[in-house]
């Protein structure tokens, strides 16, 4: 079976827009059933934009209805005659001249909807610079009065997969930093409690007695 494009985003869409079972979605996307359930519970892929597999011919609406009617049926990926896209090599993203004027709008949308993204990530997604991102963030951009937040995927400035990957990466980093912060706070708290316990262990009566030396 051919691989599903953007399996996690596809699973998000199927969970939100169909009555397919977790097992059916799992079998189609290749995700573990528990991960699909976590998506449904909002524990995984929170805020991720779902990807409609019918828009690029991976599934048909008729196939979805067939599987919804039979919970034991497996979704069948629509055969594709078009070759799979080749991954683009790393390097600066080229933005067509006609779309460059849309970049401030896309930056504003990313800063508003995904504040967890770093400026460097935002700049990379839309093919801009960190200074431009900062100018939109602090509203010092020369054309700020005409900037209105718009989805960069809809504008064609980035792929949905790239956006979801960036959001996942940013959230994992934030989770690691939060865990490290809590660990440091717990360690500091334990040290403070230990010091307090050591002070409390000293007998006040003994502490007040003068040091009597033998003659």
DSSP conformation letters of 121-180: HHHHHHT--HHHHHHHHTT--TTGGG-----HHHHTSS-HHHHHHHHHHHHHHHHHHHHH
Distance CA 105, CA 148 (A): 5
d(C-alpha 147, C-alpha 128), whole Å: 15
Residue pLDDT, tens place only, 115-171: 999 999 999 999 889 999 999 999 999 999 999 999 998 888 888 889 999 999 988
Convert the pLDDT of each residue in 47-85 to its tens digit. Answer: 778 888 888 788 889 999 999 999 899 988 887 654 555
pLDDT in tens, 192-213: 787 787 777 665 555 555 555 5
Residue whose C-alpha is closest to residue 104's, from 145, 161, 163: 145
Domain coordinates of the chain in residue numbers?
7-69, 97-160
Which of 61, 56, 54, 18 shows the shortest CA–CA distance to 36? Answer: 18
pLDDT at 91: 52
Q: Is 76 helix (H, G, I), strand (E, B) or coil?
A: coil
Tokens in use for 196? 């307090």
Q: Of the candidates 10, 118, 116, 104, which has an alpha carbon nearest to the alpha carbon of residue 56?
A: 10
């Amino acid at each position: 079976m051919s691989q599903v494009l953007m399996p996690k985003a596809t699973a998000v869409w199927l969970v939100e827009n169909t009555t397919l079972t977790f097992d059916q979605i799992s079998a189609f996307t290749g995700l573990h059933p528990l991960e699909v359930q976590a998506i449904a519970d909002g524990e995984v892929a929170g805020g991720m934009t779902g990807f409609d597999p019918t828009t690029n011919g991976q599934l048909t609406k008729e196939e979805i209805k067939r599987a919804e009617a039979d919970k034991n049926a497996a979704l069948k990926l629509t055969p594709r005659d078009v070759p799979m896209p080749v991954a683009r090599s790393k390097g600066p993203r080229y933005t067509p001249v006609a779309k460059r004027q849309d970049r401030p709008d896309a930056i504003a949308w990313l800063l508003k909807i995904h504040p967890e993204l770093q400026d460097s990530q935002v700049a990379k997604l839309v093919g801009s610079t960190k200074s431009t991102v900062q100018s939109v963030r602090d509203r010092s951009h020369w054309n700020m009065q005409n900037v209105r937040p718009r989805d960069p995927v809809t504008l064609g400035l980035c792929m949905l997969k790239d956006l979801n990957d960036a959001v996942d990466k940013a959230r994992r980093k934030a989770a690691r930093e939060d865990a490290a912060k809590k660990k440091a706070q717990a360690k500091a708290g334990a040290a403070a409690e230990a010091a307090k316990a050591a002070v409390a262990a000293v007998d006040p009566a003994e502490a007040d007695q003068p040091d009597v030396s033998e003659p």
